[in-house]
Amino acid sequence: MARDEHKSGINTRLAHIGNDPGAFHGFVNPPVVHASTVLFPDAATMASRKQKYTYGTLGTPTTDALAEAMNELEGAAGTIIVPSGLAAVCVPLLAFLSAGDHALIVDTVYHPTRRFADTLLKRLGVEIEYYDPSVGADIARLMKPNTKVVFTESPGSNTFEMQDIPAIAAAAHKGGAIMMMDNTWATPLFFRPLEHGVDISVHAATKYPAGHSDVLLGTVSANAACWERLHETFITLGVCAGPDDVYQVLRGLRTMGVRLERHQESALAIARWMEGKQGVAQVLHPGLESHPGHAIWKRDFSGASGLFSFVLDAGGEREAHAFLDALQIFGLGFSWGGFESLAVQVSLADRTIAKGPYAGPVIRLQIGLEDVEDLKADIERGLKAARSL
Protein backbone atom coordinates (compact mmCIF):
# COMPACT_ATOMS: atom_id res chain seq x y z
CA MET A 1 0.00 0.00 0.00
CA ALA A 2 1.37 3.41 -0.93
CA ARG A 3 2.37 5.73 1.92
CA ASP A 4 1.83 9.47 2.05
CA GLU A 5 5.27 10.14 3.53
CA HIS A 6 4.79 13.90 3.73
CA LYS A 7 1.98 13.39 6.26
CA SER A 8 3.86 10.79 8.30
CA GLY A 9 5.92 11.43 11.42
CA ILE A 10 9.66 11.92 11.09
CA ASN A 11 10.62 8.48 12.40
CA THR A 12 8.18 6.81 10.00
CA ARG A 13 9.69 8.78 7.14
CA LEU A 14 13.25 7.97 8.21
CA ALA A 15 12.38 4.28 8.23
CA HIS A 16 11.21 4.32 4.61
CA ILE A 17 12.68 7.21 2.58
CA GLY A 18 15.32 6.48 -0.02
CA ASN A 19 14.12 2.99 -0.81
CA ASP A 20 11.53 1.28 -2.96
CA PRO A 21 11.46 -2.44 -2.13
CA GLY A 22 9.33 -3.07 -5.20
CA ALA A 23 12.20 -1.93 -7.39
CA PHE A 24 14.62 -4.48 -5.88
CA HIS A 25 12.69 -7.74 -5.61
CA GLY A 26 11.15 -6.77 -2.26
CA PHE A 27 14.39 -6.31 -0.31
CA VAL A 28 13.88 -3.66 2.37
CA ASN A 29 17.35 -2.16 1.84
CA PRO A 30 18.62 -0.90 -1.53
CA PRO A 31 21.58 -2.74 -3.07
CA VAL A 32 25.17 -1.65 -2.53
CA VAL A 33 26.31 -1.13 -6.10
CA HIS A 34 30.07 -1.21 -6.64
CA ALA A 35 30.49 0.30 -10.07
CA SER A 36 32.78 2.09 -12.44
CA THR A 37 31.92 0.71 -15.89
CA VAL A 38 28.30 0.61 -17.03
CA LEU A 39 27.46 -1.26 -20.24
CA PHE A 40 25.18 0.05 -23.00
CA PRO A 41 22.88 -2.15 -25.07
CA ASP A 42 24.07 -0.75 -28.40
CA ALA A 43 26.34 1.86 -30.00
CA ALA A 44 23.56 4.40 -30.50
CA THR A 45 22.68 4.40 -26.80
CA MET A 46 26.35 4.64 -25.92
CA ALA A 47 26.78 7.64 -28.21
CA SER A 48 23.72 9.44 -26.88
CA ARG A 49 24.16 8.28 -23.28
CA LYS A 50 20.39 8.02 -23.08
CA GLN A 51 20.12 5.61 -20.20
CA LYS A 52 19.79 6.25 -16.47
CA TYR A 53 23.32 5.18 -15.45
CA THR A 54 26.36 5.71 -17.66
CA TYR A 55 29.41 5.66 -15.37
CA GLY A 56 30.07 5.08 -11.68
CA THR A 57 31.07 8.67 -10.85
CA LEU A 58 27.76 9.95 -12.21
CA GLY A 59 25.56 8.00 -9.82
CA THR A 60 24.35 4.51 -8.92
CA PRO A 61 21.21 3.12 -7.30
CA THR A 62 23.03 3.35 -3.95
CA THR A 63 23.92 7.04 -4.22
CA ASP A 64 20.48 7.81 -5.64
CA ALA A 65 18.84 6.20 -2.62
CA LEU A 66 20.69 8.44 -0.15
CA ALA A 67 20.26 11.54 -2.31
CA GLU A 68 16.52 10.93 -2.54
CA ALA A 69 16.32 10.49 1.23
CA MET A 70 18.18 13.76 1.81
CA ASN A 71 16.00 15.57 -0.72
CA GLU A 72 12.98 14.45 1.27
CA LEU A 73 14.47 15.58 4.58
CA GLU A 74 15.78 18.90 3.24
CA GLY A 75 12.97 19.79 0.86
CA ALA A 76 15.66 20.11 -1.81
CA ALA A 77 15.68 19.99 -5.60
CA GLY A 78 18.78 17.82 -5.51
CA THR A 79 21.56 16.46 -3.31
CA ILE A 80 25.14 15.46 -4.06
CA ILE A 81 27.02 12.88 -1.99
CA VAL A 82 30.73 13.53 -1.39
CA PRO A 83 33.50 11.71 0.54
CA SER A 84 33.62 13.95 3.65
CA GLY A 85 32.00 16.85 5.44
CA LEU A 86 34.84 19.12 4.37
CA ALA A 87 34.29 18.14 0.73
CA ALA A 88 30.64 19.12 1.25
CA VAL A 89 31.87 22.61 2.18
CA CYS A 90 34.44 22.92 -0.61
CA VAL A 91 32.38 21.80 -3.61
CA PRO A 92 29.60 24.44 -3.36
CA LEU A 93 32.12 27.19 -2.61
CA LEU A 94 34.05 26.22 -5.75
CA ALA A 95 30.78 26.05 -7.67
CA PHE A 96 29.69 29.61 -6.92
CA LEU A 97 32.92 31.57 -6.48
CA SER A 98 35.34 32.81 -9.13
CA ALA A 99 38.41 35.06 -9.24
CA GLY A 100 37.47 38.59 -8.25
CA ASP A 101 34.45 37.55 -6.20
CA HIS A 102 33.89 38.49 -2.55
CA ALA A 103 32.66 35.96 0.02
CA LEU A 104 31.32 36.67 3.52
CA ILE A 105 31.95 33.86 6.00
CA VAL A 106 30.88 33.80 9.64
CA ASP A 107 33.84 34.13 12.03
CA THR A 108 32.63 31.13 14.06
CA VAL A 109 32.88 28.77 11.11
CA TYR A 110 34.33 25.25 11.30
CA HIS A 111 38.13 25.67 11.22
CA PRO A 112 38.80 23.50 8.12
CA THR A 113 36.31 25.69 6.23
CA ARG A 114 38.36 28.75 7.22
CA ARG A 115 41.57 27.00 6.17
CA PHE A 116 40.09 26.21 2.74
CA ALA A 117 38.93 29.81 2.34
CA ASP A 118 42.22 31.34 3.52
CA THR A 119 44.38 29.12 1.33
CA LEU A 120 42.83 27.73 -1.84
CA LEU A 121 40.06 30.29 -2.35
CA LYS A 122 42.41 33.22 -1.77
CA ARG A 123 44.96 31.66 -4.12
CA LEU A 124 42.23 31.45 -6.75
CA GLY A 125 41.61 35.19 -6.37
CA VAL A 126 38.54 35.19 -4.10
CA GLU A 127 38.31 37.96 -1.50
CA ILE A 128 37.41 36.51 1.91
CA GLU A 129 35.84 38.54 4.71
CA TYR A 130 34.70 37.20 8.09
CA TYR A 131 31.68 38.63 9.86
CA ASP A 132 30.37 38.75 13.43
CA PRO A 133 27.79 35.99 14.09
CA SER A 134 25.51 38.54 15.79
CA VAL A 135 25.30 40.76 12.68
CA GLY A 136 21.80 39.72 11.57
CA ALA A 137 20.23 41.98 8.96
CA ASP A 138 23.13 44.42 9.33
CA ILE A 139 25.15 42.07 7.13
CA ALA A 140 23.71 44.20 4.32
CA ARG A 141 26.34 46.81 5.24
CA LEU A 142 29.09 44.30 4.48
CA MET A 143 27.74 43.33 1.07
CA LYS A 144 29.74 44.51 -1.94
CA PRO A 145 28.82 44.58 -5.61
CA ASN A 146 31.01 41.48 -6.08
CA THR A 147 29.70 39.53 -3.05
CA LYS A 148 28.63 36.19 -4.47
CA VAL A 149 28.38 33.93 -1.40
CA VAL A 150 27.40 34.32 2.23
CA PHE A 151 28.49 31.22 4.15
CA THR A 152 27.11 30.67 7.62
CA GLU A 153 26.99 28.09 10.38
CA SER A 154 24.44 28.24 13.16
CA PRO A 155 25.02 27.54 15.96
CA GLY A 156 28.64 28.61 15.59
CA SER A 157 31.35 25.98 15.67
CA ASN A 158 32.57 25.25 19.23
CA THR A 159 31.04 28.33 20.91
CA PHE A 160 27.45 27.98 19.63
CA GLU A 161 26.48 31.53 18.73
CA MET A 162 23.05 31.64 17.07
CA GLN A 163 22.46 33.64 13.89
CA ASP A 164 19.34 35.20 12.46
CA ILE A 165 19.37 33.04 9.35
CA PRO A 166 16.20 34.44 7.67
CA ALA A 167 17.45 38.03 8.06
CA ILE A 168 20.92 37.19 6.75
CA ALA A 169 19.45 35.24 3.81
CA ALA A 170 17.17 38.13 2.89
CA ALA A 171 20.12 40.57 2.87
CA ALA A 172 22.27 38.15 0.88
CA HIS A 173 19.61 37.69 -1.78
CA LYS A 174 18.94 41.42 -2.00
CA GLY A 175 22.63 41.87 -2.73
CA GLY A 176 22.62 39.13 -5.36
CA ALA A 177 24.52 36.53 -3.32
CA ILE A 178 23.96 32.84 -2.72
CA MET A 179 23.34 31.83 0.91
CA MET A 180 25.03 28.63 2.14
CA MET A 181 24.76 27.05 5.58
CA ASP A 182 26.60 24.30 7.39
CA ASN A 183 23.70 22.64 9.23
CA THR A 184 25.55 19.65 10.66
CA TRP A 185 24.70 20.46 14.31
CA ALA A 186 20.92 20.53 13.91
CA THR A 187 20.46 18.13 10.98
CA PRO A 188 17.33 18.64 8.84
CA LEU A 189 15.32 17.06 11.66
CA PHE A 190 15.73 20.14 13.87
CA PHE A 191 16.29 22.85 11.23
CA ARG A 192 15.49 22.94 7.51
CA PRO A 193 17.67 25.71 6.04
CA LEU A 194 15.98 25.88 2.65
CA GLU A 195 12.71 26.82 4.38
CA HIS A 196 14.46 29.82 6.00
CA GLY A 197 15.95 31.37 2.87
CA VAL A 198 19.15 29.34 2.56
CA ASP A 199 20.00 28.20 -0.98
CA ILE A 200 22.47 25.41 -0.20
CA SER A 201 22.52 23.22 2.91
CA VAL A 202 25.74 21.42 3.86
CA HIS A 203 26.08 18.42 6.18
CA ALA A 204 28.91 16.33 7.49
CA ALA A 205 26.97 13.09 7.28
CA THR A 206 29.93 11.64 9.19
CA LYS A 207 28.12 12.93 12.29
CA TYR A 208 24.49 12.16 13.17
CA PRO A 209 23.33 10.58 9.89
CA ALA A 210 26.07 7.93 10.11
CA GLY A 211 25.96 7.92 13.89
CA HIS A 212 28.58 5.28 14.67
CA SER A 213 31.97 7.01 14.29
CA ASP A 214 33.06 4.75 11.46
CA VAL A 215 32.17 6.59 8.22
CA LEU A 216 33.30 9.77 6.48
CA LEU A 217 30.70 11.34 4.18
CA GLY A 218 29.18 14.68 3.23
CA THR A 219 25.94 15.81 1.60
CA VAL A 220 25.05 19.07 -0.13
CA SER A 221 21.41 19.87 -0.87
CA ALA A 222 20.31 22.75 -3.09
CA ASN A 223 17.16 24.55 -4.07
CA ALA A 224 15.96 24.55 -7.68
CA ALA A 225 17.78 27.78 -8.56
CA CYS A 226 21.19 26.45 -7.50
CA TRP A 227 20.92 22.73 -8.18
CA GLU A 228 22.12 22.62 -11.80
CA ARG A 229 25.31 24.61 -11.13
CA LEU A 230 26.09 22.63 -7.97
CA HIS A 231 25.57 19.31 -9.75
CA GLU A 232 27.66 20.34 -12.76
CA THR A 233 30.58 21.28 -10.50
CA PHE A 234 30.25 18.00 -8.60
CA ILE A 235 30.38 16.01 -11.85
CA THR A 236 33.33 18.05 -13.13
CA LEU A 237 35.36 17.52 -9.95
CA GLY A 238 34.62 13.79 -9.75
CA VAL A 239 34.41 13.78 -5.94
CA CYS A 240 32.07 10.83 -5.63
CA ALA A 241 31.73 8.77 -2.45
CA GLY A 242 32.24 5.03 -2.15
CA PRO A 243 29.10 2.84 -2.14
CA ASP A 244 29.78 1.14 1.20
CA ASP A 245 30.05 4.49 2.99
CA VAL A 246 26.91 5.74 1.26
CA TYR A 247 25.03 2.64 2.35
CA GLN A 248 26.24 2.98 5.95
CA VAL A 249 24.89 6.52 6.12
CA LEU A 250 21.57 5.50 4.58
CA ARG A 251 21.32 2.78 7.21
CA GLY A 252 22.19 5.32 9.91
CA LEU A 253 19.32 7.55 8.82
CA ARG A 254 16.85 4.87 9.86
CA THR A 255 17.68 5.40 13.53
CA MET A 256 18.78 9.05 13.46
CA GLY A 257 15.47 10.30 14.83
CA VAL A 258 15.47 8.14 17.94
CA ARG A 259 19.19 8.70 18.49
CA LEU A 260 18.79 12.47 18.27
CA GLU A 261 15.96 12.37 20.80
CA ARG A 262 18.33 10.72 23.27
CA HIS A 263 21.27 12.99 22.40
CA GLN A 264 19.07 16.05 22.89
CA GLU A 265 17.52 14.90 26.16
CA SER A 266 20.82 13.88 27.71
CA ALA A 267 22.75 16.95 26.54
CA LEU A 268 20.13 19.38 27.85
CA ALA A 269 19.96 17.55 31.18
CA ILE A 270 23.74 17.72 31.57
CA ALA A 271 23.97 21.33 30.37
CA ARG A 272 21.32 22.44 32.90
CA TRP A 273 23.07 20.47 35.65
CA MET A 274 26.42 22.10 34.81
CA GLU A 275 25.05 25.65 35.16
CA GLY A 276 26.18 26.89 38.54
CA LYS A 277 28.53 23.96 39.18
CA GLN A 278 31.73 24.83 40.99
CA GLY A 279 34.47 25.39 38.46
CA VAL A 280 32.09 26.18 35.56
CA ALA A 281 31.90 29.82 34.47
CA GLN A 282 29.48 29.42 31.56
CA VAL A 283 27.60 26.75 29.60
CA LEU A 284 27.33 27.38 25.86
CA HIS A 285 24.17 25.59 24.75
CA PRO A 286 21.50 27.46 22.73
CA GLY A 287 18.75 25.35 24.29
CA LEU A 288 19.42 26.96 27.67
CA GLU A 289 17.39 30.04 28.61
CA SER A 290 20.64 31.69 29.73
CA HIS A 291 22.15 31.49 26.24
CA PRO A 292 22.23 34.85 24.39
CA GLY A 293 20.87 33.20 21.24
CA HIS A 294 18.15 31.17 22.95
CA ALA A 295 15.29 33.26 21.50
CA ILE A 296 16.51 32.71 17.93
CA TRP A 297 17.01 28.99 18.57
CA LYS A 298 13.50 28.69 20.01
CA ARG A 299 11.99 30.64 17.11
CA ASP A 300 13.68 28.77 14.24
CA PHE A 301 14.79 25.36 15.51
CA SER A 302 12.65 22.43 16.65
CA GLY A 303 15.36 20.76 18.72
CA ALA A 304 18.98 20.60 19.81
CA SER A 305 21.58 17.92 19.25
CA GLY A 306 24.13 16.51 21.67
CA LEU A 307 27.01 18.93 21.18
CA PHE A 308 27.74 21.94 23.40
CA SER A 309 30.61 23.62 25.24
CA PHE A 310 31.34 24.98 28.68
CA VAL A 311 33.92 27.37 30.08
CA LEU A 312 36.13 26.62 33.09
CA ASP A 313 36.03 29.48 35.58
CA ALA A 314 39.80 30.04 35.57
CA GLY A 315 43.14 28.79 34.33
CA GLY A 316 44.43 27.79 30.96
CA GLU A 317 45.76 24.76 29.13
CA ARG A 318 47.03 23.12 32.32
CA GLU A 319 43.55 23.13 33.90
CA ALA A 320 41.91 22.05 30.65
CA HIS A 321 44.29 19.10 30.33
CA ALA A 322 43.68 18.13 33.96
CA PHE A 323 39.93 18.05 33.29
CA LEU A 324 40.32 16.00 30.11
CA ASP A 325 42.85 13.54 31.52
CA ALA A 326 40.62 12.75 34.52
CA LEU A 327 37.73 11.59 32.32
CA GLN A 328 37.03 7.86 32.21
CA ILE A 329 33.92 7.63 29.99
CA PHE A 330 34.35 10.61 27.69
CA GLY A 331 36.88 9.85 25.00
CA LEU A 332 39.40 12.47 23.90
CA GLY A 333 38.86 12.84 20.21
CA PHE A 334 37.69 15.05 17.39
CA SER A 335 34.47 14.62 15.44
CA TRP A 336 31.12 13.96 17.12
CA GLY A 337 27.64 12.66 16.42
CA GLY A 338 28.45 9.04 17.24
CA PHE A 339 27.14 6.84 20.02
CA GLU A 340 30.01 7.65 22.40
CA SER A 341 30.70 10.77 24.44
CA LEU A 342 33.75 12.86 23.56
CA ALA A 343 35.56 15.89 24.96
CA VAL A 344 38.09 18.29 23.47
CA GLN A 345 39.60 21.64 24.38
CA VAL A 346 38.52 24.33 21.93
CA SER A 347 40.99 26.72 20.31
CA LEU A 348 39.73 30.15 19.24
CA ALA A 349 43.12 31.28 17.93
CA ASP A 350 41.97 31.41 14.31
CA ARG A 351 39.16 33.90 14.95
CA THR A 352 39.35 37.58 14.18
CA ILE A 353 36.09 38.77 15.77
CA ALA A 354 34.29 36.21 17.95
CA LYS A 355 37.03 35.60 20.50
CA GLY A 356 34.97 35.93 23.68
CA PRO A 357 35.95 37.02 26.30
CA TYR A 358 35.81 33.75 28.23
CA ALA A 359 36.84 33.34 31.86
CA GLY A 360 38.91 30.23 31.19
CA PRO A 361 39.44 27.38 28.73
CA VAL A 362 36.53 26.31 26.54
CA ILE A 363 35.77 22.57 26.56
CA ARG A 364 33.46 21.02 23.98
CA LEU A 365 31.40 17.99 24.96
CA GLN A 366 29.72 15.50 22.66
CA ILE A 367 27.03 13.79 24.73
CA GLY A 368 26.59 10.25 23.50
CA LEU A 369 24.11 7.53 24.33
CA GLU A 370 25.53 6.53 27.72
CA ASP A 371 23.52 6.94 30.92
CA VAL A 372 23.30 10.56 32.06
CA GLU A 373 24.23 9.85 35.69
CA ASP A 374 27.42 8.11 34.59
CA LEU A 375 28.36 11.07 32.40
CA LYS A 376 27.68 13.52 35.22
CA ALA A 377 29.97 11.53 37.52
CA ASP A 378 32.68 11.61 34.85
CA ILE A 379 32.36 15.38 34.44
CA GLU A 380 32.57 15.74 38.23
CA ARG A 381 35.88 13.84 38.12
CA GLY A 382 37.17 16.25 35.53
CA LEU A 383 36.04 19.39 37.34
CA LYS A 384 37.57 18.15 40.59
CA ALA A 385 40.89 17.49 38.86
CA ALA A 386 40.90 20.97 37.30
CA ARG A 387 40.16 22.60 40.67
CA SER A 388 42.86 20.66 42.47
CA LEU A 389 45.75 22.34 40.63
Q: What is the pLDDT of residues 298-349, one digit of tens each?
A: 999 999 999 999 999 999 999 999 999 999 999 999 999 999 999 999 999 9
Cβ atoms of 239 and 87 within 8 Å: the answer is yes
CA end-to-end distance (rounded Å), the chain: 65
Q: What is the pLDDT of residues 354-383, one digit of tens each?
A: 998 999 999 999 999 999 999 999 999 999
Cβ atoms of 342 and 297 within 8 Å: the answer is no
| Three-point CA angle 145, 151, 154, nearest 5° | 140
Candidates 348, 10, 368; CA nearest to 192 is 10
Q: What is the pLDDT of residues 252-294, one digit of tens each?
A: 999 999 999 999 999 999 999 999 899 999 999 999 999 999 9
CA 202 to chain centre: 6
Q: What is the pLDDT of residues 206-255, one digit of tens each?
A: 999 999 999 999 999 999 999 999 999 999 999 999 999 999 999 999 99
SS3 content of the chain, % helix, strand, coil (to 5): 45, 15, 40
pLDDT recorded at residue 6: 57
Domains, in order of start, for the chain: 5-252 (3.40.640.10), 256-387 (3.90.1150.10)
Residue type, 341: S
Q: Alpha-carbon distance 347 to 361, whole Å?
A: 9
**Would you mind telling me the total number of residues written for the chain in this entry?**
389
Span of 11-15, 110-114, 131-135 with lowest mean pLDDT: 11-15
pLDDT recorded at residue 3: 46
| Three-point CA angle 224, 228, 230, nearest 5° | 100
Q: Which residues contact 362 (CB under 8 A, 6 or more apart)?
A: 158, 159, 284, 309, 310, 311, 345, 346, 348
Q: Find the largest Cα–Cα distance for the chain.
A: 77
Helix crossing, 243-274 with 61-74: angle to 10°? 30
Q: What is the pLDDT of residues 11-64, one digit of tens each?
A: 999 998 988 887 888 888 888 999 999 999 999 999 999 999 999 999 999 999
